[in-house]
Each structure stands twice: as C-alpha cells, then as structure tokens.
Amino acid sequence: LGRRFAERKRCADLECSMLMCRGKATRDFKGPDCRFVNFKKGEAVYVYYKLIGESTELWAGSVGSDFGYFPKDLLEINHNYSNEELELPTDETDFVCF
C-alpha cells in the first residue's frame, strides 16, 4: 500500500472529529499494517471520515480505543450521527500509525 491512500476525504466537520455513523462489523478484519483497525464480527465500529477518490473503499474509525482504516464493505451501518458531509483534502498525518 502507498503512503497516502487518498487525496480527499468526507467528514462531518472541519476537524473530522465528529462521528459520521456507527455500524456493526459483518466479519473479522485484520489490517495489513498499524494504520488499520482490527475488529471481530459483531463489534461496534464508529466512523469519523470516509476516503474518496482512488481509495473509496476505505473508511477511518474506531473500535474501543483503537483507531484506523478498514474496508467500508465490512460494516453494516445502523446509526447515522450526521447527514453533513464536507469534502476536505487529506493530510500526511492521516496516514501515520496511531
């Protein structure tokens, strides 16, 4: 995987600190490196932003106190916190290990 997964992202606020939605993991996921969040089927996943552009399949969120990227198709959304979606450029710090 490249250093930067995407050039742009969608967030609920300018800092990408507000929750966009919450969902339930549809199966286990173990990421390829420390930039990803791991989870088990059935765990709650909280989404903070969605990558757009060349890497539309990755979202960023948290499971417990862990934060990272995961494939969006592994999440069954069961609650939306915001209908606002701001399009913002990604930053180099979006793609470092958490």
Are 4 and 49 spatial neighbours (Cβ–Cβ below 8 Å)? no
Residue-by-residue DSSP string for 13-77: STTS-S--EEEEESS-B--SSTTB--B-TT-EEEEEEEEESTTTTEEEEEETTEEEEEEGGGEEE
Using the predicted structure, report yes or no on whether residue 3 has a pLDDT greater than 80.
no
> Is the pLDDT assigned to residue 1 strictly greater than 50?
no
Mean pLDDT of the chain, nearest integer: 92
Q: What average pLDDT does range 23-36 have in this prediction?
A: 96
What pTM value is reported for the model? Answer: 0.91
pLDDT digits (tens, 9 = 90+) for 34-58: 999 999 999 999 999 999 987 679 9
- For residue 98, name the pLDDT band (cuts at 50, 70, 90): low
Q: Which domains does the chain have, with CATH numbers?
A: 8-37+47-85 (2.30.30.40)
